[in-house]
Amino acid sequence: MSGSEFHVHGAHEHEMEHASHSGGSSSLAVATAILATVGAVFSYMGGYTQANAALFKNDAAIKKTEAANQWNFYQAKSTKQNMAELSAEIMTQPDKKQKYLDSVERYKTEKQEIKTKAEALEKESLDWDEQSEQQMHQHHRWAQATTSIQVSIALAAIALLTRRRWMEFLMYGIAAIGVGLGALAYLHV
């Protein structure tokens, strides 16, 4: 500051200067910045797993619909088989009766193929549902971790303003819980 200029310090500048000279405040500010970064990563992972859960649930619904279509096809073949059986029963001409009996056998074979395909699609649907549930569980862990980190950041601000040492310890404790929950989410626990 040159001799010809006049400068007035504001109250906030005085507090900032005072905070920069005290070691505890700067370490708390660094911890807060680190927690904010960790919280941002946890939040991203929470959104990522939630989106995956929705995609997997959608895939499950698609496979379930495909399975339902196959079961409808199976039912149609059953109806045709029943009609062929009835026709064979009432038919008196041997050559036409055999034609209907051959159709019955063909429908039985076709139904078995359709049934196998429908059951496989149902299994795929269940597999997608299971993956969706796993992603939602992981999402909840990430959300719990993010919330803990956010609470610890708020406590850091309160500790910084009130200069209460116990509040700082509480902030570090809740931050540790948040990091622990983030580790559980990462490990799919």
Q: What is the pLDDT of residues 53-106, one digit of tens each?
A: 999 999 999 999 999 999 999 999 999 999 999 999 998 898 889 999 999 999
Q: Over the stretch 97-147, which tens digit does the pLDDT of each residue have?
A: 999 999 999 999 999 999 999 999 999 999 999 999 999 999 999 999 999
The three-state secondary structure class of 104 is helix
Greater confidence (14 vs 180) lies with 180
How far is residue 135 from each of residues 40, 59, 73, 90, measured CA to CA in Å? 19, 14, 33, 58
DSSP 125-142: HHHHHHHHHHHHHHHHHH
pLDDT at 12: 47
Token reading at 53 = 């859960």
CA dist., res. 55 & res. 52, Å (int): 5
CA atoms within 13 A on the CB side of 36: 9
Is residue 39 within 8 Å of 150, Cβ to Cβ?
yes
pLDDT at 153: 95
Rg of the chain on CA atoms, in Å:
34
Q: What are the domain boundaries of the chain?
A: 28-186
Reported as a single tens digit per residue, the pLDDT across 1-25 is 455 665 555 554 555 455 555 556 7
How high is the mean pLDDT of the chain? 90
pTM higher than 0.85: no
Mean pLDDT, rounded, for 148-172:
93
* pLDDT value at residue 2: 53
What local confidence, expressed as pLDDT, does residue 34 receive? 94
Residue 25 has a pLDDT of 79
